[in-house]
Amino acid sequence: MDGLPVTTLVALLGFAGGIVLGAVARAMQFCTLGAIADAFLTTDHRRLRAWALAIATATLTTQTLHMTGVVDIYQSIYLVPDFGWLGAIIGGLCFGFGMALVGTCAYGSMVRLGGGDLKALVDFLVLGIVAYATLRGLSGMGRVYVIEAANAALSGIGNQGIPDALAWLLAVDVTLVRALLVTAMVAALALYCFKDPAFRRSRRDVAGGAIIGLLIAFGWIATGVAGADPFEPTALASFTFVAPVGRALVYVMTFSGATINFGIASVGGVIVGAFLASRGRRDFRLEAFDDEKEMLRHLAGAAMMGFGGVLAMGCTIGQGITGLSTLSLSAPLALGSIFIGAYFGLKYLIEGSLRGVLRSGFARY
């Protein structure tokens, strides 16, 4: 690989990792909204446990990489001292509700697109446009002057890492706190996953969760090790699928004046991986909207995911797994908000109106 630009190498690694992510999700039915719906509507928690296993695997490997000095996760956007609590809450709620309207998350939309779903193409385009507008366009002004104006500066701690906050409060060594926290968190998640006999017997769910968790660590290595060049520095990152979708659209339209990066390449990789998996499984087929009502629901949901995902600094993958693997304060806040938003989004689809949702309150289905 001598002579290959660092940006190109990192992009190739992002594309390769994206292919595996897309293929795994398509072949093993790894879907966050599907996991939430299964948990709320049925007694089958296998996909939710697979998702928890992905978090446990990603956290263990990411923290090991950090504690052994392979990567410095303090360089990631998730651990900046500017704590965006309001964005995590409002953005998470918007993203979760929109996810329910669309029927999947941003990652799932790309997986569906790779399988021939033309509805997902519309979702992909709308999500990307709204996400980029929230980053750089008109709706970005509201983000900067309203949402980010409420950010809390954690200058006393130096970052928004949970281990650092606990160490600061307890006046103890952060390394010890980190080791204990990672051990407790991973053990609790593993217990939740493997105490269920149905999950233990499901090779598909066990393998899917483990592979996706390992791919998050792969992303840190790709950007933090392969991308560690003093002349062409690469921002430390791993997989997330909201802002990169917007940047991917801009890259396609302005190729000669743009530079590819890990996130942009991973978007293309997921679509390609899902396409290859769908062809291999012989379930590739073109699908379109049934009627204008379904189309309007998808347009609204995709716009909410694009807007909310940027405010929350990530999606169910970006904050739910990648962000949590860094043990940042914003990740559980954003993830909890996404789950609440998805819950009420599912209730909205069942009740048929917001009035019906408010009337039913927090009652279980």
The answer, yes or no, to whether residue 362 has pLDDT greater than 90, is no
Sequence-separated (6 or more) residues with CB below 8 Å from residue 201: none
Q: What is the pTM of this model?
A: 0.93
Confidence of residue 357 (pLDDT cuts 50, 70, 90): low
Residue 261: phi and psi, rounded to 5, are -140, -175
* Residue-wise pLDDT tens digits, 250-283: 999 998 777 899 999 999 999 999 999 999 999 9
Range of lowest pLDDT (129-133, 163-167, 258-262, 266-270): 258-262
* Residue-wise pLDDT tens digits, 186-208: 999 999 999 999 999 999 999 99
Residue 123's DSSP bridge partners are none
239 with 266: CB under 8 angstroms?
yes
The answer, yes or no, to whether residue 295 has pLDDT greater than 60, is yes
Hey, what are 132's tokens? 């980029």
Residue 313 gets which letter from DSSP?
Answer: T
Measure the CA–CA gap between 273 and 283, rounded to whole angstroms. Answer: 14
Sequence-separated (6 or more) residues with CB below 8 Å from residue 271: 18, 22, 110, 113, 114
Hey, what are 287's tokens? 């699908």
Q: Is the dihedral of CA 18, 23, 25, 28 positive or negative?
A: negative
Closest CA to 271 of 124, 54, 127: 124
Measure the CA–CA gap between 344 and 99, rounded to whole angstroms. Answer: 11
Percent of the chain with pLDDT over 90: 80
The whole-number average pLDDT for the span 317-335 is: 96
Measure the CA–CA gap between 207 and 61, rounded to whole angstroms. Answer: 16
The whole-number average pLDDT for the span 38-47 is: 86
Rg of the chain, C-alpha, whole Å: 20
pLDDT score for 365: 46
pLDDT score for 33: 87
Measure the CA–CA gap between 332 and 226, rounded to whole angstroms. Answer: 29
Q: Where are the domains of the chain?
A: 6-353
Measure the CA–CA gap between 342 and 6, rounded to whole angstroms. Answer: 39
* Residue-wise pLDDT tens digits, 62-88: 999 999 999 999 999 999 999 999 999
Closest CA to 46 of 196, 155, 264: 196
